[in-house]
Amino acid sequence: MSPPVSELVALLTPERLEDNLFRGQSRDIGTKYVFGGQVLGQALSAAQATLQSPREAHSLHAYFLRAGDINAPIIYEVDRSRDGGSFSVRRVSAIQHGKVIFFCAASFHQHEPGATHQLSMPEVPRPEDIAPDPAVPQEVLDTLPIKIQRWLDRSGPFEFRHVYPRDELNPPKRPPYQQVWFRLVEKVGDAPALHRALLAYASDFHLLGTANFPHGISYYQPNVQMASLDHALWFHRPFRADEWLLYSIDSPSAQNSRGLARGQIFDTQGRLVASTAQEGMVRVVSV
Protein backbone atom coordinates (compact mmCIF):
# COMPACT_ATOMS: atom_id res chain seq x y z
CA MET A 1 0.00 0.00 0.00
CA SER A 2 1.07 3.58 -0.61
CA PRO A 3 2.10 5.61 2.48
CA PRO A 4 -1.16 7.59 2.77
CA VAL A 5 -3.27 4.41 2.72
CA SER A 6 -1.00 2.27 4.89
CA GLU A 7 -0.73 5.10 7.43
CA LEU A 8 -4.52 5.41 7.59
CA VAL A 9 -5.05 1.66 8.00
CA ALA A 10 -2.49 1.64 10.83
CA LEU A 11 -4.11 4.74 12.35
CA LEU A 12 -7.50 2.99 12.42
CA THR A 13 -6.02 -0.07 14.17
CA PRO A 14 -5.43 1.16 17.73
CA GLU A 15 -2.97 -0.74 19.90
CA ARG A 16 -4.54 -3.06 22.45
CA LEU A 17 -3.22 -2.37 25.97
CA GLU A 18 -5.67 -4.51 27.95
CA ASP A 19 -8.90 -6.40 27.31
CA ASN A 20 -10.94 -3.20 27.07
CA LEU A 21 -8.21 -0.58 26.74
CA PHE A 22 -6.67 0.70 23.50
CA ARG A 23 -4.24 3.40 22.44
CA GLY A 24 -4.49 5.35 19.20
CA GLN A 25 -2.07 7.79 17.62
CA SER A 26 -2.97 10.87 15.59
CA ARG A 27 -2.06 12.09 12.13
CA ASP A 28 -1.78 15.79 11.39
CA ILE A 29 -3.72 16.33 8.15
CA GLY A 30 -3.78 20.11 8.37
CA THR A 31 -6.69 20.56 10.76
CA LYS A 32 -6.13 22.67 13.88
CA TYR A 33 -7.00 19.77 16.19
CA VAL A 34 -7.40 15.99 15.82
CA PHE A 35 -9.70 15.24 12.88
CA GLY A 36 -13.07 14.03 14.16
CA GLY A 37 -13.28 11.22 11.61
CA GLN A 38 -10.06 9.77 13.00
CA VAL A 39 -11.55 9.53 16.50
CA LEU A 40 -14.77 8.02 15.11
CA GLY A 41 -12.84 5.35 13.19
CA GLN A 42 -10.52 4.50 16.07
CA ALA A 43 -13.38 4.28 18.58
CA LEU A 44 -15.35 1.99 16.26
CA SER A 45 -12.29 -0.21 15.71
CA ALA A 46 -11.73 -0.49 19.47
CA ALA A 47 -15.37 -1.44 20.03
CA GLN A 48 -15.29 -4.02 17.23
CA ALA A 49 -12.19 -5.61 18.75
CA THR A 50 -14.11 -6.54 21.92
CA LEU A 51 -16.82 -8.59 20.19
CA GLN A 52 -16.81 -12.33 20.86
CA SER A 53 -19.29 -13.27 18.11
CA PRO A 54 -19.53 -12.36 14.41
CA ARG A 55 -21.73 -9.28 14.72
CA GLU A 56 -21.46 -6.18 12.55
CA ALA A 57 -21.85 -2.54 13.54
CA HIS A 58 -25.19 -1.10 12.48
CA SER A 59 -25.16 2.22 14.35
CA LEU A 60 -22.85 4.62 16.14
CA HIS A 61 -23.83 7.74 18.11
CA ALA A 62 -21.05 10.03 19.29
CA TYR A 63 -20.38 13.33 21.05
CA PHE A 64 -17.24 15.45 20.72
CA LEU A 65 -16.57 17.06 24.11
CA ARG A 66 -13.12 18.62 23.78
CA ALA A 67 -10.65 19.35 21.01
CA GLY A 68 -8.09 16.58 20.55
CA ASP A 69 -4.34 17.19 20.86
CA ILE A 70 -2.60 15.97 17.69
CA ASN A 71 0.70 15.52 19.55
CA ALA A 72 -0.61 13.16 22.26
CA PRO A 73 -1.92 9.58 22.07
CA ILE A 74 -5.61 8.90 22.69
CA ILE A 75 -6.69 6.19 25.12
CA TYR A 76 -9.92 4.37 24.27
CA GLU A 77 -11.75 2.67 27.14
CA VAL A 78 -14.47 0.24 26.03
CA ASP A 79 -17.40 -0.70 28.25
CA ARG A 80 -19.01 -4.01 27.21
CA SER A 81 -22.50 -2.76 28.02
CA ARG A 82 -24.49 -5.69 26.65
CA ASP A 83 -24.17 -8.95 24.73
CA GLY A 84 -27.68 -10.19 24.04
CA GLY A 85 -29.08 -12.92 21.87
CA SER A 86 -28.63 -10.98 18.62
CA PHE A 87 -27.42 -7.47 19.58
CA SER A 88 -24.30 -6.20 21.36
CA VAL A 89 -23.69 -2.66 22.64
CA ARG A 90 -20.38 -0.99 23.45
CA ARG A 91 -19.68 2.39 25.01
CA VAL A 92 -16.32 3.95 24.21
CA SER A 93 -14.63 6.88 25.94
CA ALA A 94 -11.65 8.62 24.34
CA ILE A 95 -9.27 10.13 26.90
CA GLN A 96 -6.40 12.62 26.59
CA HIS A 97 -4.49 14.32 29.40
CA GLY A 98 -6.83 12.73 31.95
CA LYS A 99 -10.03 14.12 30.38
CA VAL A 100 -12.70 12.56 28.18
CA ILE A 101 -12.61 14.30 24.78
CA PHE A 102 -15.19 12.07 23.07
CA PHE A 103 -17.60 9.26 23.82
CA CYS A 104 -19.88 7.09 21.74
CA ALA A 105 -22.25 4.15 21.87
CA ALA A 106 -22.05 1.56 19.11
CA SER A 107 -24.53 -1.24 18.47
CA PHE A 108 -23.79 -4.51 16.68
CA HIS A 109 -26.22 -7.03 15.18
CA GLN A 110 -25.87 -10.52 13.81
CA HIS A 111 -27.16 -10.95 10.27
CA GLU A 112 -30.77 -12.03 9.93
CA PRO A 113 -33.40 -11.80 7.14
CA GLY A 114 -36.19 -9.23 7.19
CA ALA A 115 -38.16 -6.65 5.21
CA THR A 116 -36.06 -4.49 2.88
CA HIS A 117 -36.58 -1.10 1.25
CA GLN A 118 -34.58 2.07 0.58
CA LEU A 119 -34.81 5.51 -0.97
CA SER A 120 -33.42 5.87 -4.49
CA MET A 121 -29.99 7.29 -5.22
CA PRO A 122 -30.00 10.81 -6.73
CA GLU A 123 -29.48 10.96 -10.50
CA VAL A 124 -25.98 12.38 -10.83
CA PRO A 125 -23.03 11.92 -13.20
CA ARG A 126 -20.86 8.86 -12.62
CA PRO A 127 -17.51 9.46 -10.91
CA GLU A 128 -15.55 8.57 -14.07
CA ASP A 129 -17.39 11.39 -15.86
CA ILE A 130 -16.32 14.00 -13.30
CA ALA A 131 -12.86 15.57 -13.47
CA PRO A 132 -10.73 15.37 -10.31
CA ASP A 133 -10.68 18.53 -8.20
CA PRO A 134 -8.05 20.94 -9.59
CA ALA A 135 -5.03 21.78 -7.46
CA VAL A 136 -5.02 25.14 -5.71
CA PRO A 137 -2.53 27.43 -7.52
CA GLN A 138 0.70 27.92 -5.63
CA GLU A 139 0.32 31.70 -5.59
CA VAL A 140 -3.02 31.25 -3.81
CA LEU A 141 -1.65 28.64 -1.39
CA ASP A 142 1.16 31.00 -0.38
CA THR A 143 -1.38 33.52 0.93
CA LEU A 144 -3.07 31.04 3.30
CA PRO A 145 -2.18 29.95 6.86
CA ILE A 146 0.26 27.04 7.03
CA LYS A 147 -2.37 24.61 8.36
CA ILE A 148 -4.76 25.41 5.52
CA GLN A 149 -1.89 25.10 3.01
CA ARG A 150 -1.14 21.60 4.27
CA TRP A 151 -4.81 20.60 4.16
CA LEU A 152 -5.28 21.80 0.56
CA ASP A 153 -1.90 20.66 -0.77
CA ARG A 154 -1.85 17.13 0.64
CA SER A 155 -2.31 13.82 -1.19
CA GLY A 156 -4.72 12.10 1.14
CA PRO A 157 -5.83 8.45 1.28
CA PHE A 158 -9.29 9.31 -0.10
CA GLU A 159 -10.15 10.75 -3.50
CA PHE A 160 -13.16 13.09 -3.76
CA ARG A 161 -15.03 14.19 -6.85
CA HIS A 162 -17.69 16.85 -6.37
CA VAL A 163 -20.77 16.68 -8.56
CA TYR A 164 -21.26 20.45 -8.09
CA PRO A 165 -17.82 21.88 -7.20
CA ARG A 166 -17.70 24.91 -4.90
CA ASP A 167 -14.79 27.30 -4.44
CA GLU A 168 -14.23 27.07 -0.69
CA LEU A 169 -11.76 29.95 -0.75
CA ASN A 170 -14.31 32.27 -2.39
CA PRO A 171 -17.59 30.55 -1.54
CA PRO A 172 -20.79 31.61 -3.29
CA LYS A 173 -24.22 31.36 -1.67
CA ARG A 174 -25.94 28.13 -2.70
CA PRO A 175 -28.79 25.88 -1.55
CA PRO A 176 -27.70 23.58 1.33
CA TYR A 177 -27.05 20.31 -0.45
CA GLN A 178 -24.23 18.59 -2.32
CA GLN A 179 -23.20 15.24 -3.76
CA VAL A 180 -19.62 13.97 -3.56
CA TRP A 181 -18.17 10.72 -4.94
CA PHE A 182 -15.34 9.31 -2.82
CA ARG A 183 -13.18 6.21 -2.47
CA LEU A 184 -9.96 5.04 -0.89
CA VAL A 185 -7.24 5.60 -3.49
CA GLU A 186 -6.18 1.93 -3.59
CA LYS A 187 -7.44 -1.50 -2.64
CA VAL A 188 -7.12 -2.84 0.88
CA GLY A 189 -8.10 -6.16 2.47
CA ASP A 190 -11.59 -7.64 2.54
CA ALA A 191 -12.29 -7.34 6.28
CA PRO A 192 -15.71 -5.65 6.69
CA ALA A 193 -14.66 -4.18 10.06
CA LEU A 194 -11.82 -2.29 8.36
CA HIS A 195 -14.13 -0.89 5.68
CA ARG A 196 -16.61 0.28 8.32
CA ALA A 197 -13.81 2.07 10.21
CA LEU A 198 -12.65 3.66 6.94
CA LEU A 199 -16.18 4.83 6.17
CA ALA A 200 -16.53 6.26 9.68
CA TYR A 201 -13.34 8.22 9.03
CA ALA A 202 -14.46 9.50 5.62
CA SER A 203 -18.00 10.33 6.76
CA ASP A 204 -16.70 13.40 8.62
CA PHE A 205 -15.53 15.05 5.39
CA HIS A 206 -17.89 17.59 3.74
CA LEU A 207 -20.80 16.88 6.09
CA LEU A 208 -21.01 19.92 8.38
CA GLY A 209 -19.65 22.24 5.70
CA THR A 210 -22.91 21.83 3.78
CA ALA A 211 -24.62 23.98 6.44
CA ASN A 212 -22.45 26.90 5.26
CA PHE A 213 -23.68 26.89 1.68
CA PRO A 214 -26.65 29.32 2.00
CA HIS A 215 -24.47 31.83 3.88
CA GLY A 216 -21.46 32.03 1.56
CA ILE A 217 -18.97 31.13 4.28
CA SER A 218 -16.27 28.49 4.57
CA TYR A 219 -14.08 26.79 7.16
CA TYR A 220 -11.06 28.30 5.39
CA GLN A 221 -12.07 31.87 6.24
CA PRO A 222 -10.28 33.25 9.35
CA ASN A 223 -13.51 34.62 10.87
CA VAL A 224 -15.35 31.28 10.69
CA GLN A 225 -15.10 28.86 13.62
CA MET A 226 -16.43 25.32 13.14
CA ALA A 227 -16.41 22.22 15.34
CA SER A 228 -18.35 18.96 15.31
CA LEU A 229 -20.63 18.53 18.32
CA ASP A 230 -21.99 15.07 17.58
CA HIS A 231 -22.04 12.43 14.85
CA ALA A 232 -24.42 9.61 14.07
CA LEU A 233 -23.72 6.83 11.58
CA TRP A 234 -25.86 3.90 10.50
CA PHE A 235 -24.60 0.99 8.39
CA HIS A 236 -27.30 -0.59 6.21
CA ARG A 237 -25.67 -2.89 3.66
CA PRO A 238 -22.23 -4.34 2.82
CA PHE A 239 -19.84 -2.03 0.94
CA ARG A 240 -16.19 -1.42 0.18
CA ALA A 241 -14.54 1.89 1.04
CA ASP A 242 -12.02 1.33 -1.77
CA GLU A 243 -14.79 1.46 -4.41
CA TRP A 244 -16.69 4.58 -5.43
CA LEU A 245 -19.40 5.72 -3.00
CA LEU A 246 -21.74 8.69 -3.41
CA TYR A 247 -22.20 10.97 -0.40
CA SER A 248 -25.49 12.86 -0.82
CA ILE A 249 -25.71 15.57 1.85
CA ASP A 250 -28.27 18.20 2.84
CA SER A 251 -28.57 20.68 5.69
CA PRO A 252 -32.19 21.18 6.82
CA SER A 253 -31.43 23.87 9.42
CA ALA A 254 -28.88 26.28 10.87
CA GLN A 255 -29.62 28.42 13.93
CA ASN A 256 -28.12 29.70 17.18
CA SER A 257 -24.54 29.21 15.83
CA ARG A 258 -25.26 25.53 15.10
CA GLY A 259 -25.77 23.75 11.80
CA LEU A 260 -27.36 20.37 11.13
CA ALA A 261 -26.38 18.16 8.20
CA ARG A 262 -27.60 14.74 7.04
CA GLY A 263 -26.04 12.33 4.58
CA GLN A 264 -26.88 9.22 2.58
CA ILE A 265 -24.11 7.05 1.16
CA PHE A 266 -24.76 4.93 -1.94
CA ASP A 267 -22.61 2.50 -3.90
CA THR A 268 -22.37 2.61 -7.71
CA GLN A 269 -25.23 0.08 -7.98
CA GLY A 270 -27.51 2.56 -6.21
CA ARG A 271 -27.69 0.62 -2.93
CA LEU A 272 -28.02 2.76 0.19
CA VAL A 273 -25.14 1.46 2.32
CA ALA A 274 -25.02 4.01 5.16
CA SER A 275 -26.64 7.16 6.57
CA THR A 276 -25.18 9.97 8.67
CA ALA A 277 -26.24 13.01 10.70
CA GLN A 278 -24.18 15.67 12.42
CA GLU A 279 -24.71 18.94 14.27
CA GLY A 280 -21.83 21.31 14.69
CA MET A 281 -20.90 24.75 15.91
CA VAL A 282 -20.67 27.37 13.17
CA ARG A 283 -19.63 30.83 14.39
CA VAL A 284 -18.79 33.93 12.40
CA VAL A 285 -16.61 36.18 14.58
CA SER A 286 -14.85 39.49 14.14
CA VAL A 287 -11.10 39.29 13.50
Beta strands in 126-284 (DSSP E): 158-162, 177-184, 224-228, 230-235, 245-255, 258-267, 272-284
231 and 64 in contact (C-beta within 8 Å)? yes
Q: Is 228 designated active site?
A: yes
Q: Is 48 designated active site?
A: no
Q: Which DSSP symbol is given to 86?
A: S
Phi-psi region of 228 (alpha: psi -120 to 50; beta: other; left: phi over 0): beta
Torsion angle of C-alpha atoms 9, 228, 235, 42, degrees rounded to 10: 30
Q: Which of 107, 203, 204, 251 is catalytic?
A: 204
Q: Which of 26, 38, 251, 278 is catalytic?
A: 278
Q: Is 204 designated active site?
A: yes
The residue among 209, 253, 204 whose CA lies nearest residue 232 is 204
Distance CA 54, CA 280 (A): 34
Angle between helices 192-202 and 3-11 (to 10 degrees): 100
Distance CA 228, CA 263 (A): 15
Sign of the torsion formed by the C-alpha atoms of 155, 157, 161 and 162: negative
Distance CA 190, CA 170 (A): 40
Q: Which of 228, 251, 264, 275 is catalytic?
A: 228
State the first-to-last Cα distance of the chain, in angstroms, to the nearest integer.
43
> Catalytic residue numbers?
204, 228, 278
